[in-house]
Structure 1
Amino acid sequence: MTPADLSLTVQHAVRRAVDDGALRVDVLPRVKVERARPGGTGDYASNIALSLARPSGRSALDVAGVLRERLQGAPGILAVDITGPGFLNFTLRRDAGGDLVRAILAAGAAGAAGAAGAAGAAGAAGPPYGHGSALAGTVVRFAEVTESRALVVTDVVIRLLRSQGADAGFGGDQRIHVLGGDYLPGTLGVDAARWSLLRAAPQDRVLDGPPLLVQHERNSLFRVRYAHARVRRLLVNGAQLGLRPSYETDIHAPELLGVLGDHPVVLLSAARHRAPDRVARHLEATADALLAFQHTVLPLGDEKPSAAHRSRLALAEAAGTVLAGGLSLLGISAPDQI
Structure 2
Amino acid sequence: MTPADLADVIVSAVRAAVTDGAIDVAVPATVPVERPKNPEHGDYASPAALQLAKAARRAPREVAELLADRLRKDPGIATVDVAGPGFLNIKLASDALGELARAIVRAGEAYGRAPQRKGVRVNVEFVSANPTGPVTLASTRWAAVGDALVRIFDAAGYDTASEYYVNDAGVQIARFGASVLAAAKGEPTPEDGYHGAYVAEIAARLLADHPDLLAGDDAQALAVAARDGLALMLTEIRSTLEGFGVHFDVWKSELSMHEAGELEAAVADLRTHGHVYDADGAVFLRTTDFGDDKDRPLIKSDGQPTYFCADAAYYRNKRGRGFDRLVLLLGADHHGYIGRLQALAACFGDNPDESLDVIIGQLVTLSRGGEPVKMSKRAGNFLTLADLVDVVGVDAARYSLVRSSLDSSLDLDLDLIAKQTNDNPVFYVQYAHARIASLLRNAAALGITPADGPGAVLDGIDVSLLEHPREGDLLRALGELPTVVASAASLRAPHRVARYLEELAGTYHRFNDACRVLPRGDEEPTPLTAARLLLVEATKVVLANGLRLLGVSAPERM
Is 1:178 matched with 2:382? Answer: no
Q: Tell me, in whole angstroms, the C-alpha distance in 2 between the residues paired with 1:277 and 1:240.
A: 37
Aligned residue identity for 1:276: P
In 2, Cα distance between the equivalents of 1:334 and 1:91? 32
Separation in 1, partners of 2:409, 2:117: 30
Separation in 2, partners of 1:158, 1:133 = 17
Instruction: For residues 74-117 of structure 1, give each alpha carbon's deviation from its aligned partner in whole angstroms, at most 9, with x where no partner exists.
Output: xx658979899624264733512332111111111xx4xxxxxx
Structure 1 residues 167 and 192: alpha-carbon distance in aligned structure 2, compared to 1, 3 A threshold: same
Change (3 A) 1:163 1:30: closer
What pairs with 1:107-256 in structure 2 (closer than 5 Å)? Answer: 107-108=107-108, 111=109, 128-133=110-115, 136-145=118-127, 146=129, 147-169=139-161, 170=163, 171=318, 172=326, 174-181=357-364, 183=385, 184-206=388-410, 207-246=412-451, 247-249=461-463, 250-251=465-466, 252=468, 253-256=471-474
- Amino acid of the structure 2 residue aligned with 1:233: S
* Alpha-carbon separation, structure 1, partners of 2:155 and 2:80: 27
Instruction: Please say if 1:95 is aligned against 2:77.
Output: no
**Structure 1's 167 and 85: CA in aligned 2 closer, same or farther, altered over 3 A?**
same
SS at match of 1:218: coil
Measure how far apart 1:168 and its partner are: 2.3
- Equivalent of residue 274 in structure 1, options 487, 492, 499: 492
1:297-327 superposed Cα distances (whole Å, 9 cap, x missing partner):
1113453211111111110111011111111
Which of the pair has more CA radius of gyration? 2
1:138 offset after TM fit, Å? 2.7
Consecutive unaligned residues of structure 1, counting only runs of 5 or more, are 2-21, 35-43, 51-58, 69-75, 112-127
The residue identity in structure 1 corresponding to 2:487 is S
Percentage of identical aligned residues: 42
SS in 2 for 1:175: strand
User: Does structure 2 retain, via aligned residues, the 8 Å contact 1:294–1:316?
Assistant: no
Distance 1:138 1:232, change over 3 A: same
Specify the SS of the correspondent of 1:95.
helix
In structure 2, how many angstroms separate the alpha carbons of the residues matched to 1:82 and 1:334? Answer: 41
- Normalized per residue, which structure has more strand? 2
- Change over 3 Å in CA distance of 1:47–1:164 after alignment to 2: closer
Q: Secondary structure at the match of 2:498?
A: helix
SS at match of 1:102: helix
Q: Which amino acid aligns with 2:394?
A: V
> What are the superposed Cα offsets for residues 153-207 of structure 1, whole Å, 9 maximum, x if unpaired?
1111111011111122235454322112264222210001101100111122334
Aligned residue number for residue 286 of structure 1:
504
**2:529 matched residue in structure 1:** 309
Alpha-carbon spacing, 1:91–1:211, altered in 2? closer, same or farther (3 Å): closer
Q: Report the residue type matching 1:212 in the other structure.
A: I
Q: Amino acid of the residue matched to residue 122 of structure 2?
A: V
Cα distance between partner residues in 2 of 1:94 and 1:260:
15
Change (3 A) 1:82 1:131: farther
Counterpart-to-counterpart distance in 2, 1:32 and 1:255: 11
Q: Is the 8 A contact 1:188 1:209 kept in 2?
A: yes
| Structure 2 alignment gaps of length 5 or more | 2-31, 51-58, 69-75, 130-138, 164-317, 319-325, 329-356, 365-383, 452-460
Q: Give me the whole-angstrom Cα distance separating, in 2, the residues matched to 1:307 and 1:105.
A: 17
Cα RMSD (Å):
3.7
In structure 2, do the counterparts of structure 1 residues 270 and 91 end up closer, same or farther at CA, with 3 Å as the change threshold? Answer: same
Task: Tell me by how many angstroms 1:131 deviates.
Answer: 0.0
1:87–1:321: structure 2 CA closer, same or farther, 3 Å change rule?
closer
Separation in 1 of the partners of 2:418 and 2:508? 22
> Using the alignment, how far apart are the partners of 1:314 and 1:266 within structure 2?
22
Instruction: Give the counterpart letter for 2:415 in structure 1.
Output: P
Q: Name the CA shift for 1:298/1:149 in 2 (closer, same or farther; >3 Å).
A: same
